[in-house]
């Protein structure tokens, strides 16, 4: 795997840590190369006060930004997440000097905080090998989040359906349960040109949390169709078919893209949730599953994935399905996504919400 190191300015602590991480990748057989040389990921060395982003040439390039936070801050997690968004990174590694830190040996006495878009936020004493192990699962992932929209939705579904109404109802219920933070205000931290680049690469026009889907057989398309909340919308205010709620009539796993049926007056920028590949694989693997809910919350004693893969990747979907195979009843259970949240299955949305009501822990435990 090829990677580049892009450095903005000079910071002795940051640059020394980055050098140690880059060397660890080389020791593991990876190759440092120029950005034009078919790289798979970038170590982006930036300043927390002015985080520069690396302009990817393709969706398949992952960006890991390194910063130092050497002055006390009131809310480190907020600083790290804002830096993540402003730098358009897949992960931010924030280096924080701790007790025992010495400029002569910066690798010692430093903590490194890992932040991902999936709200993973955990820390560990700096160790190049540990940093390598956190970066590699992401760097080697493959996104499967493209959409193919076709205006072939039967007219009787243009406005609503029984399942569409259920999605609207239970989207509001997610908000009532307190697991639905407001969508992240991209325009407060990014320029329009940056937001357009996000859309060009990932077809995302906003950031939001959680999603839900439910099957509804459509005779024209077969038994495998399901409705799902759209990408980047407020799940508490789901309303229009073709905008907030979309019909997935199939999924092309080889090409990594959802086949979406929309009405003629659909929003041309609407895209189904990035987790569609996970839902589609679960529905295909377990025909008895009738609905799926994903929340950034937790339940006691759930099986949990071991790695942090990005949402919308084939690897995360496969890891979740493998985890469900280890449960007693895959069609009616919940599993945990490490440092992220829950995927919950059931015969319908009513069943899922009856099971989780009053049991959700709003704080996801962070595992280093």
Q: Check which CATH number belongs to the domain holding 32 and give it.
A: 3.40.50.10300
Does one domain contain both 297 and 212?
yes
Eight-state DSSP code of residue 254: T
Pull the structure tokens for residue 222: 């077969």
Domain identity same for 106 and 191: no
Q: How much is the pTM?
A: 0.89
Does 223 map to a domain? yes
- The pLDDT, as a whole number, for residue 183 is 46
pLDDT of residue 291: 98
Number of domains in the chain: 2
Same domain, 179 and 269: yes
- Alpha-helical segments (H) within the chain: 12-27, 76-86, 128-139, 162-176, 192-202, 276-285, 314-325, 349-356
* Pairwise CA distance, residues 1 & 19, whole Å: 17
CB 295 within 8 A of CB 174: yes
Last residue of a domain, one of 111, 139, 167: 139
How far is the C-alpha of 335 from the C-alpha of 73, rounded, in Å? Answer: 34
CATH of the domain at 302: 3.40.225.10
The pLDDT score that the predictor gives to residue 57 is: 81
- Residue 348's domain comprises 146-356
| pLDDT, block means (10 residues), the chain with 368 residues | 96 94 98 94 95 84 94 88 87 89 75 83 92 95 95 98 98 89 55 61 61 96 94 92 98 96 96 96 97 94 90 94 97 94 97 95 85
* Same-domain check for residues 74 and 200: no
Judging by beta carbons within 10 Å of its beta carbon (0-12, 13-18, 19+), is residue 37 exposed, middle or buried? exposed
What's the Rg (C-alpha) of the chain?
21
pLDDT, position 210: 87
* Whether residues 150 and 135 fall in one domain: no
């Amino acid at each position: 795997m090829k990677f580049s190191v892009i450095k903005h300015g000079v910071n002795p602590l940051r640059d020394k840590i980055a050098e140690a991480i880059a060397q660890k990748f080389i020791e593991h057989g990876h190759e440092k190369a120029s950005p034009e040389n078919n790289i798979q990921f970038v170590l982006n060395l930036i300043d927390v006060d002015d985080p520069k982003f690396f302009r990817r040439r393709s969706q398949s390039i992952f960006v890991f930004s390194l910063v130092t936070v050497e002055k006390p801050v009131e809310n480190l997690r907020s600083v790290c997440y804002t830096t993540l968004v402003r730098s358009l990174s897949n992960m931010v590694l924030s280096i924080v000097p701790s007790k025992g830190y010495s400029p002569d040996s910066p690798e010692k006495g430093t903590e490194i905080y890992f932040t991902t878009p999936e709200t993973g936020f955990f820390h560990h004493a700096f160790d190049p090998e540990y940093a390598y192990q956190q970066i590699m699962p992401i760097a080697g992932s493959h996104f499967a989040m493209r959409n193919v929209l076709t205006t072939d939705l039967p007219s009787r579904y243009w406005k609503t359906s029984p399942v569409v109404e259920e999605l609207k109802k239970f989207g509001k219920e997610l908000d009532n349960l307190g697991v639905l933070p407001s969508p992240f205000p991209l325009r407060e931290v990014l320029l329009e040109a940056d937001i357009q680049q996000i859309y060009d690469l990932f077809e995302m026009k906003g950031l939001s949390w959680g999603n839900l889907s439910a099957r509804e057989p459509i005779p024209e398309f077969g038994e495998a169709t399901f409705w799902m909340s759209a990408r980047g919308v407020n799940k508490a205010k789901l309303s229009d078919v073709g905008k907030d709620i979309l019909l997935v009539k199939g999924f092309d796993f080889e090409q990594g893209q959802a086949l979406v049926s929309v009405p003629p007056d659909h929003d041309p920028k609407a895209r189904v949730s990035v987790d569609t590949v996970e839902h589609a694989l679960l529905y295909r693997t377990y025909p008895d599953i009738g609905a799926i809910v994903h929340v950034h919350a937790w339940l006691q004693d759930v099986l949990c994935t071991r790695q942090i893969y990005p949402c919308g990747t084939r690897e995360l979907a496969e890891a979740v399905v493998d985890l469900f195979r280890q449960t007693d009843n895959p069609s009616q259970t919940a599993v945990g996504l490490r440092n992220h949240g829950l995927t919950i299955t059931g015969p319908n949305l009513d069943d899922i919400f009856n099971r989780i009501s009053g049991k959700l822990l709003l704080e996801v435990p962070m595992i280093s």
